[in-house]
Each structure stands twice: as structure tokens, then as C-alpha cells.
Amino acid sequence: MVELNPLHYQNRRLETLVENRTLHTLNNAELNIFETHQKAAQVMLQFHEPVLASMIRGKKIMHLQNTPSFGFLPGESVILPSNELMCIDFPEASEQNPTQCLALAFNEAKLQQAVNLLNERGLKQNGKEWSMTDYNYHFTNDIAINQILQRLIFIFTENHPSKDIFADMLLQELIIRILQTESKSIYLKKSYTQPNNDRISFVLNFIRENITEDLTIELLSEKAYMSESNFYRTFKHETGSTPIDFIIEERLKLAESLLRDPKMSVKEAFMASGFNSFSYFCRIFKKKKNLSPTEFKEKSNQLKNRPMA
């Protein structure tokens, strides 16, 4: 999870209990830290540039144009086009549990540079160019995006003569990762509803349906009717992850689901989720979930057995 560093608290002034704003500016971006210390509803907020909003602490209810309302929780982000009007509720904010959220506004030209860089490396498989979303894209941060946001908070709040250079490089990486995350999300949705619509969606669906089988690049490239090198390059370019990484993600999702079943042992969950090595399964599970499979299962069972209030 992203956290605010001590420099933020040293320099911020608490002037209002609802969406108190601390602003840090650089040449091509501005970082806003918003903190709310009491319950509130229908707070309006708008930026004149594209913005990434990312929750740090607490809970918001977001009401956005042409998007169903949703709960906004730590570890989640939403990318918004310029001039998008946000209506925000704070149902749980208090002095003891303030809501904290960052809003990173991008310079349009810098944003387009990152998009152009992706297009220079290759168009999408359907021949379309990469472009920044013009609607509200809500997603859960992966490890890489969390690390970039954490680093940006530090750069914006430190006093370094080259901070603009550092921030520009990170902003470019952040934008590219968001674009690939969005692209992957679109393919995943299509893989459930229209798996035969394109090669990537078909392969994602094939992986899920054969998750316990020996899934090799050779086999997947054959299913996509592509050469191994072209398939691997296209998959990584459009989803931001390798085919093997995606297979591991899907096997971990399945294992997590199985471990929530009180009747399923850790060993049975391992065997049913397609992993070949128990030690590797335990290691990769702990790396992704910060809990071993056994600890995850115990915690899951405790939550299920907790009496209702």
C-alpha cells in the first residue's frame, strides 16, 4: 500500500476538516494530497488536466459521470479525463480515522509523449493506436504502480535540484503501466463474453479453461496462430505482463478461492490449481499475498467463523 512520508506531515497545514489540500508542483505535474477528518457528502472536485486519484487511507464513495457509483478503497486508483466533475461522499471519515487520497494531475503534452512512445514500439494487434482513456477507469494497483506512486510522493516532497527529471521518468513509466493495465482489463472482460473476437482474448480464455494443464509458450502461440516470438512480444506489449506471469496470476486466484473452502487442505488447493512445485507455490503465494497459504487459510476461516455483530 502507498503511505505518506514524514515530510508531508512536517509541511502540511490543516485548514479544513473536509478535503484539506496539500499541493506540490513540478514542471509537468502536480501532486495533491487530500485529507478528510469528518463525515461529509456530495463534495465536488474537478481538475483541468487528466488526473490519477489513488486512495491511501479510509473510504470514499465516488459518483462520476457515466459510471455507476463505487466504493473507493486503499490500494485502488481511478484515472479521469480533464474537467471530469467528481462528487464524493465520506461515510466513515473521523479525526481518528481520516480519509487520505492523492490526486496526481498530468501535463497533457507529457501524457501524449508516453502514449507516443508506446505507439512507436508497436500498434495494438487490431491495428489501432494506443491512446489515453477518455472515460473513468477504476482499477486495483499492482505492485509496480504502488512503488511508482510511493516514489513520486517522496520526489514531490523532497528538496532535490533534479526532482523534475526524476518525476518525468517515473510519470512516463506510470502512464505506460496504466495503459497496459487498462488494455489487459479490456481483454479479460472480452475473454469471458467474446473470446473469439481477437487472439489475446482467445488465449486468456484458453488459459483459464486449461489452467491445470502444462501451458507452454509453444502451445499458446499455436492457439493464437502466431509465431512464438511474435505472440510473446504482442502479449507483453498489450497486457504489460508475460504469458507465464498471467498463468501464475490465474493459478494463484484459483488457489486463493480453493483455500477459502474449509474442507480444502493447502495441499489439495496446491494440486488443484496447476502448480508443479509445492515449495514454489508457497513462496509465490506469500510474495503476492504477504501470507503463506496456511496463514491465508487460517485467517479466512477465522473471518468465516466470526460471530455477526
CATH superfamily for domain 6-183: Regulatory protein AraC (2.60.120.280)
**60: enclosing H helix or E strand:** strand 60-64
Residue 39: CA count within 13 A, CB half-sphere: 2
CA 180, CA 210: separation in Å to the nearest integer?
A: 24
CA 283, CA 289: separation in Å to the nearest integer?
A: 10
Query: CA angle, 282 as apex, 280 and 286 as ends, to 5°?
Result: 115
The pTM of the full predicted model, rounded to 2 decimals, is 0.87
User: Could you tell me the three cell numbers for 286?
Assistant: 506469500
User: Could you tell me the three cell numbers for 284?
Assistant: 509465490
Spell out the long-range contacts of 303-307 with Cβ–Cβ below 8 A and sequence spacing 24 or more. Answer: 304/260, 304/262
| Phi–psi pair at 160, nearest 5 degrees | -125, 135
Q: Which residues have CB under 8 Å from 187's CB, separation 6+?
A: 198, 200, 201, 204, 238, 239
What does each C-alpha distance from 233 to 125, 131, 189, 242 come to in angstroms?
A: 11, 19, 21, 8
Residue matched to cell numbers 484539506? 20
CA 164, CA 26: separation in Å to the nearest integer?
A: 6
CA 64, CA 134: separation in Å to the nearest integer?
A: 13
How many residues are recorded in the chain? Answer: 309
The stretches in the chain having pLDDT less than 70 are: 134, 304-309
What does each C-alpha distance from 179 to 87, 116, 227 come to in angstroms?
A: 25, 12, 25
Report pLDDT for 127. 79
CA 128, CA 31: separation in Å to the nearest integer?
A: 32
Domain layout of the chain by residue ranges? 6-183, 194-309
The topology under which CATH files domain 194-309 is Arc Repressor Mutant, subunit A (1.10.10)
Q: Which residues have CB under 8 Å from 260's CB, separation 6+?
A: 297, 300, 304
